[in-house]
Amino acid sequence: MNKKFELFGGCLGNGITLCNKAVYENGDYKVIGHISEYGRIKFYVADPVNYIPDEAMKTICRWSEENEKKFKERWFKLPDIKRYEILLDEIPYTALLESPIKETLKACTDLREKVVLLEQIYFKNYA
């Protein structure tokens, strides 16, 4: 376990950048990961389990859960048409063409059903 560790989370508008304040790299805190605004954690260190102390990892998980909760609160308040528009912008069209639910999406005429299907793709792969 790395003894030089002090968790720092910086919010720059697109989630939380995770840093180790105890280590400087290139004149700044060492960036160890990122939590997306949707709550997905991505680590930039080779072995996060051994690099990040347990208490800091619990904090990172809590921040992730909070981000996911806030995102979903905002997301599900949006009208279906707005969610549909965002989903079509966010999901690459190639992913839609290769999706196993492609035919179901094509046949679907109800906007709410389309949004639910697209959300399945989006939350699994892109959020």
Domain assignment present for 65? yes
* Structural domain total, the chain: 2
Determine, yes or no, domain membership for 2: no
Residue 104 CA from chain centroid, whole number: 26
- Distance of alpha carbon 10 from alpha carbon 81, whole angstroms: 33
Rounded distance between C-alpha atoms, residue 43 and residue 24, angstroms: 17
Residue 59 lies in a domain: yes
Tell me if the pTM is above 0.75. Answer: yes
- Decide: 96 and 102 in contact? Cβ < 8 Å: yes
**Res. 101: pLDDT tops 60:** yes
pLDDT, tens digit, 9 for 90 and up, residues 11-58? 977 899 999 999 999 899 999 999 998 899 999 999 999 999 999 999
| Domain coverage including residue 95 | 78-125
Do 107 and 65 reside in the same domain of the chain?
Answer: no
Match 């605004």 to its residue by tokens: 37
Tell me which of 39, 54, 70 is where a domain ends: 70
The answer to whether the CB of 101 falls within 8 A of the CB of 121 is yes
Residues 12 and 63 in one domain: yes
Q: What is the largest CA-CA distance in the chain?
A: 57
> Contact 4/25 with Cβ under 8 angstroms?
no
